[in-house]
Structure 1
């Protein structure tokens, strides 16, 4: 009896498997080539995913041959004595197709496309929806890259852009392809994948960044000129630190603009692969290194400025830092993390002009900058503690109070854009509009740094106003004296001023 039960179960399983195989062979799915039997579906759709992808090192020629009472696309090999078809589940096919792609990333995207085509046939298509109906005259279809559900006449179907339209492993943002169902109830032959163009999105963001940094550099440059023009500012360590901070921000802005304009924008606007970014030349890698040095320099200058403020308030009788020490510390803090980063990039054979962090080495400089922000925060807490104690005894000068307010404002500002960049997941969704807001805000905050430093430490600084007014007054007196050189009336004041003029 037990043996009979086992036999019945085995027979039932075999019948079930046979029934499924028969159904699979009988099932039809619709592609851009028409209705195709399920048994040949993977070979056709794998070919379609491959045929329309241009990111290959070389492309195989194909031939349509009769096969098992149907036709399939194949590629002949070994002097046409053998062939392979484009089935993502066939290891022989994969071994031939993989080398033809420019990278394993793109090859994996082809496999994903083929897998999605298989899923489209199995789970999205039925014997009813693959044929036109009164309500949905445009039937379910695989358009070579994407699966579209049945649509009503005169409508436009939108779906997320398939992975095959992106070159990077990670989607930059959610874009949508669209396919039109005409009023006569037929699909438009070609799907509009134009909206899937990531370069168009990236170009807008980078162009905005370039404009912001350029305007910021122009607005900040007069502050550096003012600090260099007056001897009083060239001798005081406090103004030297302010000047260096503004100057390194301007240099950083200019290097970022050069990199984006000459390397990134050139890659985004080029139709081919012969770009500076893909070339990965020594020149562009050196540019990336110095850009990294300048970015570190911004944080190094901010740290030195904060350290000097801490000394002047917490230890007012301690010796001030010498100019030599300031420049040595600035050089070490700016260059050492960048040198370690460049060494790792070289050892890991970093590509794309070291602009794209495809080796995961950016943590070196990010860790340094976060450390600087942490140290500055600790110094500020100590400064606040001392200021509170001094306020109780009313022993804080107006200059100290002003400097404290400025520094309290600036140090958090220098951490905001890093916090935003690190916490990219704070964006509520992955739509391109939301990501644009995220990047525009980040770029704007970064660009405002130099401008705010220039305004707070120079343009609205009363000491700077006093020096400029004195210089203006002396210039006016000198001009008046030259124009009135024939006049014999002079005063002691004008004599002093004339001595200054000459």
Structure 2
């Protein structure tokens, strides 16, 4: 009887060990870098790596949340995974768990960075579902296995080869990833171990192509240069408008004020590029001005938005003024105080919800970075102002082609020239606004993205010079005034030159000679 019991116990032990071995062989695993992890713990490791691979400056206190070791019962050493200690309990780095996501999202400075962490985790889960294999399954030694490297999913590849991919949007700490795809690369090597050759991945993936710094430096430099050219070509026209009394009439004062607003906006934008954008690119370990998010830099970003709105509000004031003069040609000109008050109100009005949302929901990065649901508050206002101006211009054209066709007075000619100039400017302002407001989220080539940005910056930089050219440098009134005052100023020197300095009979000049 005792022998029978001992045999039964032995049979049970052998059966149990075989079942456990069979269970271990049947366990599904996903390759995470150099380790094959069970599918139960793979996403937990991926969640931690997606979080810890971020720049520490995206976290509150510039500290990456520390990880402790937790485990899943029944998996032994395979069940160990990194977890986040909170009080007396622990949470997995699992953004699919709402409690864990809320706790860890609070450690990020920006909600957009917490959302990036979640998207990286979801990409890892999809990768695991694609590359999952039974533990111990035979693989072709001449091919590197499919794996997740912490940022991207790589398919199986032959030895001595390179696999190319692109940098995913969630790896960028900025609020908006580049619209184009930057290249990444991973190498499959042939390693010789114990007289046998086996394909293995180079554990370091080449993500050097993901850096956007050089392209951003070029983009910011070009933008600042175009705005500098705009200021240099616009300021002389502003001086001319102020210097000649004859040009201080309401119609020309509107041109002058439009130029002033463009110059101020350009100067503020250059200051923003230099003080915030370039500083952010150069910052390494130290917190940049944008990371500090001080009151001064937030005020600067708000002023840039305000004066950008003011440009289009002033253009609308020009359109309303012209429409009143042409469509109601026999009525008096509009009340200028009312017109300027309307333009100021239109410029300020969208800034109220924009500022409130910035303070409540997007209070980071000196308010200098974009947000999809925020940008359209100002961009939508500018597009609406352009649409209203376009409608006014269509009505002005109708009047010019009907009521004023046979009128050839000096006053009507000036109005016609001004209307043509304003009509010419609408596409210049409109196309650039639509380009900025509705930039595609994905552009196939990074070279096309650079062209896209440079065209937009060029059109923005041409706004001031074109206004100056049409309303001042090519304006007969200002040209005649400049020529007249120049001739008047040259009368004295010319008389002195002809009758003294070039006259040999004048004794005083002989002494001077």
Please give the range of the TM-score, normalised by the shorter of the 2 chains. Answer: 0.7 to 0.9
How big is the shift at 1:122?
A: 3.3
Show the counterpart of 1:407: 422
Q: Quickly say closer, same or farther: Cα 1:46–1:286, change in 2 above 3 A.
A: closer
**1:254 is the counterpart of 2:267:** yes
Q: Quickly say closer, same or farther: Cα 1:300–1:98, change in 2 above 3 A.
A: closer
* CA contact 2:231–2:267 (8 Å) conserved in 1: yes
* CA contact 1:25–1:37 (8 Å) conserved in 2: no
**1:121 is the counterpart of 2:128:** yes
| CA distances 1:48-85 after superposition (whole Å, capped 9, x unpaired) | 44443344434325459998453534459599x98766
Provide the alpha-carbon RMSD of the alignment: 3.8
Q: 1:417 aligns with which of 401, 422, 432?
A: 432
**1:300 is the counterpart of 2:313:** yes
**1:172 is the counterpart of 2:178:** yes
SS at match of 2:66: coil
How big is the shift at 1:251?
A: 0.7
The count of aligned residue pairs is 466
SS at match of 2:447: helix
User: Counterparts of 1:163-202 in structure 2 under 5 Å?
Assistant: 163-167=169-173, 171-173=177-179, 174-182=181-189, 185-202=199-216
| In 2, Cα distance between equivalents of 1:168 and 1:341 | 20
Q: Quickly say closer, same or farther: Cα 1:424–1:32, change in 2 above 3 A.
A: same
Q: Which runs of 5+ in 2 are unaligned?
A: 1-18, 192-198, 504-513
User: Counterparts of 1:57-96 in structure 2 under 5 Å?
Assistant: 57-62=63-68, 68-71=75-78, 72-74=80-82
Show the counterpart of 1:11: none
User: Counterparts of 1:205-216 in structure 2 under 5 Å?
Assistant: 205-216=219-230
Q: 1:139 aligns with which of 120, 145, 149?
A: 145
User: Counterparts of 1:308-319 in structure 2 under 5 Å?
Assistant: 308-319=321-332
Show the counterpart of 2:258: 245
SS at match of 2:206: coil
What TM-score does the superposition give when structure 2 sets the normalisation length?
Answer: 0.77
| CA distances 1:391-416 after superposition (whole Å, capped 9, x unpaired) | 65354654444333212211232222
Q: Quickly say closer, same or farther: Cα 1:123–1:248, change in 2 above 3 A.
A: same
How big is the shift at 1:285?
A: 2.4
Higher relative contact order (CA 8 A, sep 6+): 2
Q: Which runs of 5+ in 1 are unaligned?
A: 1-17, 490-502
* CA contact 2:30–2:131 (8 Å) conserved in 1: no
Q: 1:438 aligns with which of 448, 452, 470?
A: 452
Q: Quickly say closer, same or farther: Cα 1:215–1:143, change in 2 above 3 A.
A: same
SS at match of 2:163: strand
| In 2, Cα distance between equivalents of 1:91 and 1:323 | 57
| CA distances 1:321-369 after superposition (whole Å, capped 9, x unpaired) | 4654554444444334435543554455643323235494544434443
